[in-house]
Structure 1
Amino acid sequence: MEQMNFAAKISLKVFKTSYIYTSCNPKTHFSGLIDTQYVMADSVYKSKNLTSEQLHFLKRIEEEEILYFQLAEIEKELHESYTNLNEILENLVEKGILIRLEKGKYCKANFSDLNVLASFISNGGTIAYWSALHFHNLTDRFPNTTFVKTNYRKRNTNILGSTIQFVYTKREKRIGAIHMGYGQNAYAITNMEATLVDCFDQPRYAGDWADLLRAFYLADVSSEKMIEYTKAYQNQSLIKRMGYLAELFNKKKLMDFVDYAKTQTGKRYILLEPGGLDKGIFVKRWKIRLNIDENSIMQIIESGY
């Protein structure tokens, strides 16, 4: 095997037919499997072990503390060019040191922050819906899907065995984001108010209706932001549902929002639970039909289901 002149501490161990390559740098999470098995396109040179060029590339991204990158930009980030960059990356993917997230986008094999990676491949999308409910401790149920709001259409994908679902929204709905982490560990996620408005706007991305009811009951939110965000969404149904529930839950901080919501009821009745059975009593002041009665709502809140 070629000599590994590398800045970080390195250990090499033979395990069956593979070499294990690790680095001790906790900031960059650098480690990976160098497998002697390889299957690549015939046009790409297949190296059985790490070459000097591959080692140099790894050294450089380690030095720059790069966790993920785009093919089109990595040479600029490293301040150097490569004549065979595609070949280097393909070999490092085959050896398990890098993971190809999608065409032209890569990350280190053991960097596993899905919020960061989902934001990266969506070009700055915002973590939202059920994922944000869980982040804000408004639901105990852990979503198997990471939901990302984007202002363009993008196919859902899979990263590290988890589904990433992209939800296209109009630009005016890209509001209420907060920023978490620093550097390459940074990502945007909706704040508590925007998360709830999103979920009432698109409840199919919020788990189930019982989860959403309990989340709204638990949330400590402000009238000012609720009014601002619901105005931007221009969705009368979500305003009526949230206004009715805020009044039912006696959320004192939301009394201004309740007063505002009462001015937005219109003339058409809607079902409280969207997609539920068309039954129940009519609440005239809210123009809502309670297809789930108030006693059942309070039981859901108390039980968590």
Structure 2
Amino acid sequence: MTKYETLYQELLKKEVVRYKDIEGIASTIMKTRHISPKYIYTEYINRLCQQGKLLHPQRGLYIAVQPTMINDPSFQPDAYLIASKLQSPYYLGYHTALELHGCAYSSYNTIYTVVPYEKKFRPFTFKHIAYQPVFTSYPNLGIKKRLHKNQEIRLSSPSKTFLDCIDRPQYAGGWEECLKSLEGLSGVTAQELKSLLTIIQKDILFRKTGLILELFTKNPYYQNILEDLQNVLEKHIGNSPMYIKKGYKSILNTTWNLYTPIEFNELLRGV
């Protein structure tokens, strides 16, 4: 087997790679640490791309195509692996995390990669899947590592996923999709919620947490969580009422000092 063929076989094992991955594999195959980028591109990357064995959806990112799928328009690469290679540090969050935790109510064609603002990337679409950055100040908080197709990916833990989604439900498909998905999310714990909320220190998030946990009181996945957290949540609620959504006719929830739109309350009753 030639070095070119060996490289292709190694790339197939990873499916999605960065340029540095190709450089490292090529160095191992050629048994040298120093190979010029021009040589790697000309002798390997460019040839693989021309033959349809590598796809290039974004700068520095490559996808290895199985021999039986070369030039096949139905080929669909693994979106989670692509999203995991876009930046570092990162985690897969919001609706993408709901999917990975197996509780997303609906399937979506948008993948959310959560990154610090200084690691932003341009949103792009590849093979009918949209890849979108979401910015965070806490890229390493509440992260769970998992093997996906023999590669390690980072996603938000169940408790962090819960908080992220109720904090910014627009990235979880809107409130209805968000709540219907969270209903089936297992693994949320009072201890981790308390730890995360204490670090994030966001008043409205304490209120939203109380409101949604109250809604899920009878849900076996959330049993006793509100009971264990209620005192902590109430201590962090400010005196002034806050709004879940401003500009809508709303009703005040006196327990959490939180105005919720009338249609939102109707939605809650349906969950």
Query: TM-score, structure 2 length as denominator?
Result: 0.79
Please state if 1:261 is matched with 2:233.
yes
Please state if 1:59 is matched with 2:6.
yes
The offset of 1:214, in angstroms, is: 2.7
Bigger radius of gyration: 1
Please state if 1:163 is matched with 2:118.
no
List alignment gaps of at least 5 residues for structure 1: 1-5, 7-54
CA distance in 2, matches of 1:102, 1:174: 25
Q: How many residues align?
A: 245
Partner of 2:25: 77
2:202 maps to a residue whose letter is N
1:177-234: CA deviation from partner (whole Å, max 9, x where unpaired): 2222168522111111111111122221110111222334443421111111122222
1:60 maps to a residue whose letter is L
Match of 2:256 among 286, 293, 298: 286
Indicate conservation of the 8 Å contact 2:251/2:262, yes or no.
no
Match of 1:230 among 197, 203, 207: 197
Query: TM-score, structure 1 length as denominator?
Result: 0.71
Kindly indicate which of the two structures has a greater share of residues assigned to helix.
2
Secondary structure at the aligned position of 1:174 is classed as: coil
**Consecutive aligned runs of 4 or more in structure 1 exceeding 4 Å deviation:** none
1:230-270: CA deviation from partner (whole Å, max 9, x where unpaired): 22222211210111221243242332222211111102212
Q: CA RMSD in A?
A: 2.6
CA distance in 1, matches of 2:148, 2:268: 41
Partner of 2:70: none
The offset of 1:167, in angstroms, is: 1.0
1:67 maps to a residue whose letter is E
Partner of 1:90: 46
Aligned pairs (5 A) from 1:1-305: 6=1, 56-63=3-10, 65-78=13-26, 79=28, 80=30, 81=35, 84-87=39-42, 88-110=44-66, 112-151=77-116, 152-170=119-137, 172-181=138-147, 185-220=151-186, 221-250=188-217, 251-272=223-244, 274-275=245-246, 277-292=247-262, 296-301=266-271
Indicate conservation of the 8 Å contact 1:269/1:288, yes or no.
yes
Question: Identity percentage over the alignment?
Answer: 19
List alignment gaps of at least 5 residues for structure 2: 67-75, 218-222
Indicate conservation of the 8 Å contact 1:132/1:189, yes or no.
yes
1:79-137: CA deviation from partner (whole Å, max 9, x where unpaired): 22466322231232122110113223212024822111211122352111011112223
